[in-house]
Structure 1
Amino acid sequence: MRANKRDELLQKALSVFYQKGFNATGMDLLVKETEISKTSKYKYFKTKDDLILATLRLRDELFRNTILRRMEELSDTPKGQVRALFDALGEWFASEEFRGCMFIKASSEFQDPSHAIRRQSAEHKLLFAEHIQRLLIEAGYRGTDILTRQLMVLKEGAIIAAHVSQSTTAAEDAKEIAEKLLEDAKL
């Protein structure tokens, strides 16, 4: 079954925004890259910001589904899944499509904390952290609020190191530190 025009536009726009950035991608470039007319774009999205928000929601769904599913494939226990986060990230970093974090990029391009795009980026990070915290609670760790924040700093730092510094060991380095944090937080 062929995706509807709106879904097709979202998929293509997500790819263009991820590769080229949000502010650097004007509507004319989107028309050229997606081969979908401005008329069609404005039929589904009143503004470019509306299109960006929709692509971020799609990216959130795709990213969380992919990473969380991979964590579950790598381990069938909550404790193992937390550790597997860094293995799943390492696989993403090594993939050809890795271009850094779309949400970090969006936050850097839309810096006003009250901007809807910035809030959507923060929501993605919050949803991911909440999942990790649930796993930590299920695994019986103590101090899950602090531990979650620390693991998220490691996750975000690994993403930046892999993208900006092109580190080939970012995920492994973060996992090594995470192991120490997890060991210290055992009951």
Structure 2
Amino acid sequence: MTAAALPLAAADDVSAPVRRSRAERQAIVLDTAERLFASRSSRSVGMDELVRETGLGKMTVYRLFKSKDDLVGAYLARKAATVLSAIDAELVRLEDDPRAALLSVVDTVERDVTRAGFRGCPFTNVSSEYDDPEHPARNAAADYKFELHARLERLADAIVPDGGDDLAAQVHLIIDGMYLSGGLLGPDGPAAHGRRLAERLVDAALAATP
């Protein structure tokens, strides 16, 4: 038998199915959802289309996410974990300078709203597509906003112990405004002034501290 006629080993058989872990399959589905949702909207993407785009079987996808609602909630939950992880890394780096740490959160938002293809805050965009207050997307978006605000409050309390609540709320409103304005009016609109406004608020709070 010549070398060319040798049978393929199982490991070399290109037709053999690829075995993936559950985590890998979840990542494929969520990566596909993110791509489709970002280019359109979550409601306009049907599960049949999404399954086709993943290249996975329908039963495989539904074993991972029992419904479209669960998938949308998981998509936002993963995005929240990614954003909060990046923020937390900066807060650790700047743990000895709460002023710089608080403003670094606004810097993170500024980088997001000025990137190419930015279409607004995904937590607001996606959660607003669903009326049910208990929808997984609404819950995931609210959880993210709560976690973000908790970080802002902790930093604001370290800057101005007697006025941290007000400062955190004001900075949070600036962040929400940057996302809204950046999505509608672009990076050169009012969103471009968000960081400077946050800095003025922080410095004014510091100046007013006895």
Q: Same fold (TM over 0.5)?
A: yes
* Corresponding residue of 2:85: 65
2:186 partner amino acid: Q
Q: Does 1:22 align with 2:48?
A: no
Say which of 78, 83, 90 aligns to 2:103: 83
Identity of aligned residues (%): 28
Distance 1:69 1:133 in 2: 17
Q: Does 1:111 align with 2:131?
A: yes
* Corresponding residue of 2:186: 166
Distance 1:94 1:184 in 2: 26
Residue 169 of structure 1: how far off its partner (Å) = 5.1
1:161 partner amino acid: S
The 3 A distance-change label for structure 1 pair 135 and 170 is: same
* Corresponding residue of 2:51: 31
Distance 2:142 2:83 in 1: 14
Q: Is the CA contact 2:157–2:165 (under 8 Å) kept in the aligned structure 1?
A: no
The 3 A distance-change label for structure 1 pair 15 and 74 is: farther
Partner of 1:4: helix, strand, or coil? helix
Say which of 147, 159, 174 aligns to 1:139: 159
In terms of fraction of residues, the more helix-rich structure is 1
Q: Is the CA contact 1:83–1:175 (under 8 Å) kept in the aligned structure 2?
A: yes
The 3 A distance-change label for structure 1 pair 73 and 169 is: farther
Q: Is the CA contact 1:162–1:170 (under 8 Å) kept in the aligned structure 2?
A: yes
Residue 74 of structure 1: how far off its partner (Å) = 7.3
Which digits, 9 at most, give the CA deviation of each residue in 1:19-39, with x for residues without a partner? 321101111221233223322
In structure 2, the gaps of 5 or more residues are 1-19
* Corresponding residue of 2:150: 130
Q: Within 5 Å, give how 1:169-184 maps onto structure 2.
A: 170-184=190-204
Distance 1:90 1:159 in 2: 9
1:91 partner amino acid: R
Residue 170 of structure 1: how far off its partner (Å) = 4.3
Distance 1:56 1:107 in 2: 9
Partner of 1:24: helix, strand, or coil? coil
Partner of 2:69: helix, strand, or coil? helix
Q: Does 1:9 align with 2:21?
A: no
Partner of 2:128: helix, strand, or coil? helix
- Tell me the number of residue pairs that the alignment of Structure 1 and Structure 2 aligns: 187
* Corresponding residue of 2:66: 46
Which digits, 9 at most, give the CA deviation of each residue in 1:89-142, with x for residues without a partner? 222223235332111012210133233321221111110010111111123343
Q: Is the CA contact 2:156–2:165 (under 8 Å) kept in the aligned structure 1?
A: no
Partner of 1:98: helix, strand, or coil? coil
Q: TM-score, normalised by structure 1?
A: 0.86
RMSD: 2.4
